[in-house]
Amino acid sequence: MIVVYHPRYTEVYESDPAAAAGRMEAIVKELGGFEFIEPEAAGLDDIRLCHTASHIGYVQRYGYVFEVAELAAGGALLAAEMAVKGESAFGLIRPPGHHASPDSCWGFCFFNNMAIAVTRLIEQRKIKTALILDFDLHFGDGTANIFGGNPDVIYFHPEDGHRQEFVDHVERFLGQCTADIIGVSAGFDRHIEDWGRLLTTEDYQTMGRQVKEFAIRNCGGRRFGVLEGGYNHDVLGRNVRAFLEGME
């Protein structure tokens, strides 16, 4: 398992929970033993794969935020490239991205990191189909908007209100699908000690294992994830590690 990470992800770029000081450090502290690599920023051509010129201009007017958002998209691109080459990877990135639509964004997001990564793989004909599992507390409306009506990309956001049913739903759904790669929008705000108050740390490890098994069974092991939500710094690092241990 490769962790894609850049020191600039620790910088406080906005006054929202995703940009809070100490959030990324809390995760890095728990990931001893994993190999880390640094990404480059995504180029404008990459971002244009999923976003309009007006939206890109809107984010550019944020100035400093635009630089960090480019770097987050670049982290997702690198994680996806590593997966295609046969190495499972996780983009430990911020800002998150699943609320970024082609021409708008909200919820601490600016560019849709996952969508950009998957779209570039398809454009480069490295894959034909993709499955995106999003277990964040919040529905990734941006990802759904970008891929809506596209039969080659499946977006799945489980919604069950009971812990075991949630995990079982993920397993059942993965058992019904096929794809050339699986990408995970990994939000950890559904944890029992975070906003969602539902899942345990062990559940994230279970879902990581489900992702690994799907990838081995359907797509030659190609799998990657990117960080979305998760805001309780006291448990966030342990949850991320549990997921990566299951997925590696």
pLDDT of residue 126: 98
Asked about 99 being catalytic, the answer comes back as: yes
Helix axes 64-84, 53-60, angle to 10 degrees: 120
- Distances in Å between the Cα of 97 and the Cα atoms of 33, 34, 40, 78 are 27, 24, 17, 15
pLDDT band at 198 (very low <50, low <70, confident <90, very high): very high
Mean pLDDT of 110-125: 98
Whole-number Å distance between alpha carbons of 105 and 90: 23
Mean of the per-residue pLDDT values of the chain: 97
Q: Nearest CA to 243 among 191, 189, 190, 203?
A: 203
pLDDT at 121 over 90: yes
CA–CA separation, 176 vs 223, rounded Å?
17
Mean pLDDT score, 136-155: 97
- 62 vs 154, which has greater pLDDT? 154
Could you tell me the CATH number of the domain that includes residue 96?
Answer: 3.40.800.20
Task: Name the nearest CA neighbour of 112 among 83, 134, 129.
Answer: 134
Q: What is the mean pLDDT of residues 136-160?
A: 97
- pLDDT of 137 reads 98
> How many residues are given for the chain?
248
| 93 touches 76 (CB < 8 A) | yes
- Residues 183-188, mean pLDDT to the nearest whole number: 98
Residue 159's CB is within 10 A of a number of other CB atoms, namely 8
Range of the domain at 173: 2-247
Contact assessment for residue 234 and residue 25, using Cβ atoms and an 8 Å cutoff:
no
Of the residues 6, 51, 55, 99, only one is catalytic, namely 99
Structure token pair of residue 126: 């490295």
Cβ neighbours for 94, distance < 8 A, ≥ 6 positions apart: 9, 18, 19, 23, 24, 68, 72, 227
pTM of the model: 0.97
pLDDT for 129 beyond 90? yes
Residue 71 and residue 51: Cα distance in Å, rounded? 16
pLDDT recorded at residue 239: 98
Residue 90 is predicted with a pLDDT of 98
Q: How many domains does the chain have?
A: 1
16-40 pLDDT tens trace: 999 999 999 999 999 999 999 999 9
- Could you identify the residue written with the tokens 């480069």? 124
- pLDDT, tens only, 206-226: 999 999 999 999 999 999 999
Is residue 174 within a helix (H) or strand (E), and if so which, with residue range? helix 163-175
Other residues' Cβ atoms within 10 Å of the Cβ of residue 152? 13
Position 63 scores a pLDDT of 87
Contact 114, 149 (CB under 8 A): no
